[in-house]
Structure formats: C-alpha cells, structure tokens
Amino acid sequence: MHTLNETHNPQLRSWVDSANDAGTDFPIQNLPFGVFRRYSSTESFRVGVAIGDQILDLTTAQSKSVFTGDADLAAQACCASSLNAFMAMGAPAWSALRLALSRALRDGYALHSALSTCLVPQADAEFAVPAQIGDYTDFYTSVHHATNIGKLLRPDNPLLPNYKWIPIGYHGRSSSIGISGQSVHRPVSQVMRPGATEPVLAPSARMDFELEMGIFVGPCNALGEPVSIQQAEQHVFGMCLFNDWSARDVQGWEYQPLGPFLAKNFASTVSPWIVTMEALAPYRQAWTRAEGDPQPLPYLDSAELREQGAVNIELEVFLQTAAMRERGMAEHRLSHSNFRDAYWSVSQMVAHHTVNGCNLQPGDLLGSGTQSGPTEGEAGSLMELSMGGKQALNLPSGETRTFLEDGDTVVFRGACNAPGAARIGFGEVRGTLLPARSLA
C-alpha cells in the first residue's frame, strides 16, 4: 500500500489560485486524472488532471518539456484519448508523474507561466468515461446493505451464510457505463406485478440508485496467475464515484437462480475524475472484522490489510426532482455513509477476483456494491430508505418518493478528511431518469 510522501504535505499551495480555496475537491494534494475536451467542440478527448476549478491538459503540458525521466515517459502515455496505457504502466510510473505534477503546480514553480497556457476551466469542459472498460464486475461489499436488503426479501434469513466468507460479485455490462451527466431511460423488461399469475413486458415501476465506489484496475495479471493480497493494490490505479442504476421489480423477477441481468445492465454512471490510490494514502484506516465473525481465509488476510486496508471516504446522496428544478430548489440530501464501513476491502476484491486465475486488464472496473452504513440515515439505495417501497420519503418540495420518478436527478458526492491532511474530494456523479421509450 502507498506510503506518505511530499505530495501529501497539507501545507503545499498551488499557483492555480482556486486550488487553494477552502472546500475545493481538487487541491494540489489530490491531482486526479480524467478525460475531457472543450464543451461542444470537435477536439479529440484527451487526458487531464484536475487542479482547483481548472484542468491541466497533459498532452499540451508534455509538449512544453517540463517533465523528465520516468515522469516524461508517463506523461507521454497520457497523450491519448483514454487512461489505459498510463494505467498499464504501474505504480512507479503513476507516482513519478504525480510527483512531477505536484512540483510543477506548486507556488514558486519557475515555468508556471508556460504551464498556465495548458489550463482549461472545468466549466468549459465535457468529459468521457476515463478508460476503455473491457470488463466490469460488481461486488456486494457492504454488510449493512446486504443485511437491509436481506431483511426485505428473506426476513427469517437476511444474510446468507457465504456472505461473511467470500466477497460476493457478479459480472456486469461495460458497454452501458456512461459519464456523469448521463440521462437514463426507464428500462423495459419482464416484471411480475404483485398478485399477478403471469409476467408482463412493461417499464420498471421501481427504479433505484445504488451508491457505490468504482475501482479502476491498472497492470494486468496473466491468465492463470492469481494476485496475492499483498500485491493487490499495485494492480489498482484509483477510485471514482459510481451509480449502478437498478430496476428493482425487474430484479425481483429475474435474479433467481443466476443473479442480476436486465435489472442492472441498462446503465451505470461514473464520475469524471479518478482519485489515485496514492492520493488516498493519508485517509487509510485499520480494517477490522468483528470478533464473533469468521476471520478471512489466509489468501484474504494480511498485516497490511489489518493496519490500513480501509479507506475513509465520506459519501452523500442527493435528489432533485423536476419540480424542484423548476422552482429553483437545491438538491436534497437523502443519505450519507462512509466507505470505511465496507465489509470487504479493495485488496480483498482484487485477490478474490483473481484467485481462480482470472486475468484482469488495464481499465477494468470493479464496483464496490452499494455502500450503506449501520444507521437508518446511511442507506445507499431507495430500496432500503423506503423499506422496499412501504415508507415514503418526504422531500422539501412537498413531494414524496419511494422509488425514482421520471425527471429525477440523482447526485453522489464524496470527500476524504483526516487530521493533519488536506481535504480532497471526488467531485460528483450526476444522472437523470427519463421516461421509458415507447413500446410501440
């Protein structure tokens, strides 16, 4: 796992003034990577780094000869329309470029006037999914979410016996993963309505969000060669916010015996910026397992995991209805939780995913599964917040919700705070539900 270095110094300040603003998600201690172009332009998408309210265009910056050695090689890999080549280079290259960027963006940097011409305001940019995602696997790492859902579906046996032994996951659909701002049509599929004896083809009536973290894979492992838990995070580039949209009525009818299918594969949305694992180093915490719970099998356990396997990421869910937008009302916070409460860690997901010899590829995406906390206000889905649709949520507009309605916009935000460290954030992931397409 990454150790602290000079890039994490909370006293660092940038010559990009907005990076020094209190509360910015993107101070110089963060430096997340994404893919962008100027809004509504015909430019090619290219790799950039967020700094304050600006983006440093790495293709332009690399042409200024401000990088040398390993950092320059890494910057050359970033002269592309996706991050896959850079992801494949591994942690030494990522760290070298991050250090060079940190030094180049600090107050007092001699060539800052040259680099200032490489900045593009985030407000003037549009974004693309930051990597070509070859494969996507969704996990189920929150024991609180698993228990809450289990109580709704199986009151007498809410948590299945394998949950505390194995990181549960399923292979999802990468082609329908979009970038923040995505508009999602209400999906149509088979549903079995309450009291019915036969299913019908119909738009989902129980649309939901799932508050997740996305984990992007870096270097690959060869087919047949597992990744040990000690090496797992060397294969992880970074993390983003992730909304795994879900059609709960479709899911309830189709998921037995093979699990999610059309209820999940119609859309998922990622945030534009990937915060690197190195940037997250100050916010690591001890990973614990309750004494009465089974302890992980040896391939899922290590001293490093116990010492700093958890990540303190504060997460929030907001909702803005169409009526709220029309009335100029801000988004309403529905819930908050923290990724440190995940029952299974990032390293355990990677180690288990590959223990059978499965080969991960640069740019592959792992979803953490819905991140819910131990209290009522920490549920990461409407399915939990509304008790399966039985308990409506009251909104400040006077409206109520059990599940999402057409026109609703869902927003996730995330940030890291720790004593003696700068606050860093993930930005946001935003998506809007549109009406179902006509069945005619």
Catalytically active residues are 145
Structure tokens at 328: 């100029």
Kind and range of the H or E element at 434?
strand 424-434
Could you tell me which of 429, 430, 431, 426 has the C-alpha nearest to residue 50? 426
AA identity, residue 151: K
Contacts 24+ apart (CB under 8 A), 417-423: 417/283, 417/312, 417/314, 418/282, 418/283, 418/312, 420/10, 420/282, 421/8, 421/10, 421/29, 421/282, 421/283, 422/8, 422/10, 422/12, 422/27, 422/29, 422/30, 422/282, 423/23, 423/27
Q: How far is residue 339's CA from residue 349's CA, in Å, rounded to a whole number?
A: 14
Q: How far is residue 273's CA from residue 292's CA, in Å, rounded to a whole number?
A: 38
- DSSP letter, residue 91: H
Could you tell me which of 169, 45, 48, 12 has the C-alpha nearest to residue 427? 48
- Tokens 């329908």 correspond to 176
Distance of CA 235 to the CA centre of its chain: 16
Q: How far is residue 110's CA from residue 119's CA, in Å, rounded to a whole number?
A: 16
> What's the number of CA atoms in the CB half-sphere (13 Å) around residue 191?
18
Which residues fall within 8 angstroms of residue 161, CB to CB, at 6 or more apart?
none
Q: How far is residue 429's CA from residue 210's CA, in Å, rounded to a whole number?
A: 12
